[in-house]
Amino acid sequence: MMLTDDPKAENQRNYQKLIVALEASQGILNLLIAVCDDRNLREKLIRQYETELRQQDFLTYRIRVRNQDPSLRYAVAQLIEAEPDLQQDKPAVITVLGIDELLSVKLDAPKSEEDRFFGYLQWTREALRQFRFPIVLWLTEPMLARLVEKAPDFWSWRGGVFWFKRESAPLELARDNVSQHISKTVSEEPGGLPLEEILRLIEQIEAQEKEAPLLATLYESLAEAYEQRYHSQQERQLAIKAYEKAIALQTKLGLKADLASSLEKLGNLYFEFQDEVKKANDCYQQALLIYQNIGDRQGEANRLRAISNVLQFLKRSEQKFKIKTLQQRFDLLSSDYEAAYNQLNYTFSASDRNIIQRQINTILQELEQVESELNPMKNSSNLRKNYLEQLIAYLKTEIESISRQINFTLNEVDKNKLQRQLDDKFDEIEKADSELSQLNQKSLELEHSLEES
């Protein structure tokens, strides 16, 4: 969680991210976690996104976790049974409340309400796949820390965590410290478990000769743990092997969504240093087929973009090799031309001069042909750079225009829509600027490689 001197501005940014996630998650299960300790602020935010989504013809529902039987799956299933519209796959968002009200003490039961809730989350995670809409769980910060610890499998399925801070009064230092600790745990420990604990659980389950979905999840979490902490090629290879074991289990157990996710992550790892690009493409292609098969439109779109990046990289690599080969051929022909021309100057026999002249003409023809192939390839990146520079200038103009509209717009819903448009423009300009920087870097690398050759 980012700490800021302006909690209202930070809350608004996180709210916009939450809205975008809700709008983009229709037709798929997406478990979103909203963290807020201020009940009044929580209610205000929920009403705000419910109002905004209803204006876009979304259905909005609230459910409370029951103290007697604190099962998220059961509560959602009961709601669907009672609401015919939810059974027709209409756009909907379900908000889950009451989690922070569960008792953490056992009283006269074997387990506390809180422990049973986390147990249900951990062991009935697979049953949630039948629900094809976003679910927002509202938690307090202490409850989030316990969820990460007690339901790591459920936690690994999260689609996003959105933090909202108190706006009415400054946060106490101790609470800030808790927030920083939780945030660090969330970002650095996949699934909420340290690497050593993941290894221990894997060993325990494998000793029982079980091939359960939990084992596949643990191998995926192990790969993520190695991936986030690796500082050597050995740790990178350990991450790859862990993903491969997760993929083998997910394939055998028919866990399609998890399999697509693991293939996607393994592909990212292969593509990271661009040293095993074809393997990355194979992973992306397999993930794409699964996403298409299960109807995950967002996953399909993401993999198509990744495959496009891979193909562009392969095309650039092929072009770079071809440019280098043509440049070497051009340099060799230039050297042959210079040698033949010098020989011509020291040759006096007419017949010998004619032979040398024909050689020079042949060399010049080849030089012209190589140059005609080489120049367009060298200039193509310059055309792309010019386009990106023009696009960035256009986007800056658009950002200025939208910013002025926001300042003169009084309707809150319209202002929110404009803000999302503004965020999209910032994302576009960031991507264009990143690509432009990469093209400039590749131009420098190409110049260096040609000089070295």
Q: What is the DSSP string of 273-318?
A: TTSSHHHHHHHHHHHHHHHHHHT-HHHHHHHHHHHHHHHHHHHHHH
One-letter amino acid identity for 94?
A: I
Question: Could you give the CA distance from residue 443 to residue 385 in angstroms, rounded to a whole number?
Answer: 11
> What's the pLDDT score for residue 59?
93
> What's the pLDDT score for residue 137?
94
Non-local (6+) Cβ contacts of 224 within 8 A are 190, 191, 239, 265
340 alpha-carbon distance from chain centroid: 58
Torsion sign over Cα 417, 422, 427, 429: positive
Are 219 and 242 contacting, i.e. CB atoms less than 8 angstroms apart?
A: yes
Question: Could you give the CA distance from residue 81 to residue 118 in angstroms, rounded to a whole number?
Answer: 24
For the chain, residues with pLDDT lower than 70 are 1-5, 103-111, 168-194, 197, 209-210, 229-232, 273-275, 314-323, 374-384, 386-387, 394, 443, 445-453
Cα 265-24-411 angle, rounded to 5 deg: 140
CA 367 vs CA 139, 322, 331, 342: distances in Å:
71, 16, 9, 18
Question: Could you give the CA distance from residue 291 to residue 271 in angstroms, rounded to a whole number?
Answer: 20
Give the three-class secondary structure for 96.
strand
> What's the pLDDT score for residue 95?
95
Give the side-chain half-sphere CA count within 13 A for 262. Answer: 26
Pairing type for strands 59-64 and 92-97 reads parallel
| pTM of the model as a whole | 0.41
> What's the pLDDT score for residue 247?
93
Question: Could you give the CA distance from residue 219 to residue 221 in angstroms, rounded to a whole number?
Answer: 5
State the DSSP H helix or E strand holding residue 251, giving kind and residue range, or none if neither: helix 233-253
Question: Could you give the CA distance from residue 419 to residue 18 in angstroms, rounded to a whole number?
Answer: 13
Question: Could you give the CA distance from residue 371 to residue 400 in angstroms, rounded to a whole number?
Answer: 44
The residue whose two tokens read 């996630």 is 21
The residue whose two tokens read 């990271």 is 272
> What's the pLDDT score for residue 16?
83
* Structure tokens given for 400: 């200025």
Question: Could you give the CA distance from residue 202 to residue 204 in angstroms, rounded to a whole number?
Answer: 5
* Structure tokens given for 375: 């120049």
> What's the pLDDT score for residue 96?
93
Question: Could you give the CA distance from residue 167 to residue 6 in angstroms, rounded to a whole number?
Answer: 9
Backbone angles phi, psi at 295, to 5 degrees: 75, 25
Kindly list the strands in the beta sheet with 158-164, ordered across the sheet, starting from the edge strand earlier in the chain: 59-64, 92-97, 134-139, 30-36, 158-164
Torsion sign over Cα 58, 64, 65, 71: negative
**CB-count burial class (<10 Å; 0-12, 13-18, 19+) for 249:** buried
> What's the pLDDT score for residue 179?
45
* Structure tokens given for 441: 């870097």
* Structure tokens given for 341: 């021309």
